[in-house]
Amino acid sequence: MKRLLSTLLLLAWVAVAPAHQSGGEPVFREIDAILAELSKITGLEPQKPVLRDVIGRDQVKRFLEDRIKEEVKPEELRAEELTLRKFGFVPADFDLAKTTVELLTEQAAAFYDFRKKRLYLLDSSSSSMQEVALAHELAHALADQHFNLARFIERAGKSDDGAMARLAVMEGQATWLMSEYMARKIGMSLTKSPAIAQLMSQQTAAVTGQFPVFDSAPLYLRETLLFPYTQGMLFQQTLVEKDGQAAFARVFRRPPESTRQILHPETYLAGEKPASPGLPEFRERSAYRVLAEGSIGELDHSILLRQYAGQEEAGAVAPLWRGGQYRLWEHRKQKGKTVLAYSSEWMDDGAAREFFRLYRLVLKGKSPLFELLLDQEGRLAGRASDGYFEVRLNGATVTSLEGMDAPGGTAGPVR
């Protein structure tokens, strides 16, 4: 579900305060000094000069639109939109590409183009914001020279949740280094005062009221855009506290495999791997083709529960997630008619039972039509706006089929 987001976030937009006209020259003269300080912090030496240029906000929008055309096939974009709609993360008429471009254009202060290996700075940024943005983007350039950011993301494969975790490595480290760089200028350090990292993370997240496009975007977009910066920074802080300078290379050489590992760094340090629960099948599947498939992680479940069950329920249940998979099927002859096969694994039977209870609220909240035909212990079936659904509880696993042509459409055991 994050193919488009992964592509665009590789441009490394920076969520900073709104830019103000300054009329001055960019602070490119500071590049060598900033790079030297980042190298001192990380132990990573610059391997080549960083190309740079100034760009206008209208050019940023065109750049993002062109990058989508280059990197994301129309069918991939359509599949991503349909998946987000099917889960209920976005409304039925949501335009993913348009909204994402508007979000990033609204908030950009600078970005690093990983294809051209060039750093771009907005010409409308104040000099103080330019320096902050430069520190962030130069951190990306330094990491790219050592670890190849494009390849780093591509190696996540079909794991959507793994791709988001890798984005959190990239953006979290750049945000941490930007914050450490600014802290050192006033004689402080995140390594000596960890509370500063928590404060910086909170400030990054506190963007409500500053950006109209962001404020009006679906919760899923807002949370997944901020997560790599806010939680990624705290993840990096934990590793720096444990491993010191070695942490900067470690996260690229042994990246986290799930957003759970970002949210709970102790699971990363312990080498905990996400489970891969089997997906349910349905009788009519011969009439369908697989449109999209991947993983759905703790972050996704937290957002889904916040959206339909509330903050308190999400905070209590989402951390009990241990694995999740999905597959979206599309009818071969009826374009847009889809069936969602989904499964999630939880810490124990009790946690799965609680999620099973809450998933009823998700089904009811995301569909104008919600009619229960069967409500039993461990089994829920009925009809929604997109077709028939069936949710099952089996030990620590919850599975769901949504959008079927007929009730009772499951076929055989879950596998």
Length of the chain: 415
Q: Which of 354, 352, 362, 361 is nearest to 399 (CA)?
A: 352
User: Rounded mean pLDDT of 340-348?
Assistant: 98
233-280: pLDDT as tens digits? 999 999 999 999 999 999 999 999 999 999 999 999 999 999 999 999
According to DSSP, residue 282 is labeled B
Q: State the pLDDT confidence band at 297, using cuts at 50, 70 and 90.
A: very high
Q: Which of 14, 2, 1, 11 is nearest to 211 (CA)?
A: 14
CA distances from 32 to 7, 65, 138 (A): 28, 31, 10
Residue 205: its pLDDT value, please? 66
Residue 7: its pLDDT value, please? 59
The burial class, CB within 10 Å (0-12 / 13-18 / 19+), for 414 is middle
pTM of the complete model beyond 0.75: yes
Angle (deg, nearest 10), helices 127-147 and 31-42: 50
75-119: pLDDT as tens digits? 989 999 999 999 999 999 999 888 888 888 887 778 888 888 999
Q: State the pLDDT confidence band at 124, using cuts at 50, 70 and 90.
A: low
Q: Which residue has the tokens 């943005």?
A: 133
Q: Tokens for 77?
A: 């974009």
Instruction: Judge whether 74 and 96 are in contact, CB under 8 Å.
Output: no
Q: State the pLDDT confidence band at 161, using cuts at 50, 70 and 90.
A: very high
- Would you say residue 17 has pLDDT above 50? no
- Would you say residue 126 has pLDDT above 60? no
User: Rounded mean pLDDT of 302-310?
Assistant: 98
- Would you say residue 45 has pLDDT above 50? yes
Mean pLDDT (the chain) is: 89
Q: Tokens for 219?
A: 């919760």
Residue 97: its pLDDT value, please? 86
User: Rounded mean pLDDT of 336-355?
Assistant: 98
Residue 68: its pLDDT value, please? 81
According to DSSP, residue 285 is labeled G
Q: Tokens for 70?
A: 């280059």
- Would you say residue 14 has pLDDT above 50? no
User: Rounded mean pLDDT of 319-340?
Assistant: 97
Residue 410: its pLDDT value, please? 66
User: Rounded mean pLDDT of 148-158?
Assistant: 88
Instruction: Judge whether 219 and 87 are in contact, CB under 8 Å.
Output: no
User: Rounded mean pLDDT of 310-339?
Assistant: 97
- Would you say residue 3 has pLDDT above 70? no
Domains and CATH numbers, the chain: 3-264 (no CATH), 283-404 (3.40.1000)
Residue 16: its pLDDT value, please? 40
Pairing verdict, β 379-384 and 370-376: antiparallel
178-229: pLDDT as tens digits? 999 999 999 999 998 888 888 877 777 665 557 888 899 999 999 999 999 9
Query: Among 28-42, 72-86, 197-211, 368-382, where is mean pLDDT lowest?
Result: 197-211
Query: Among 134-143, 150-159, 263-272, where is mean pLDDT lowest?
Result: 150-159
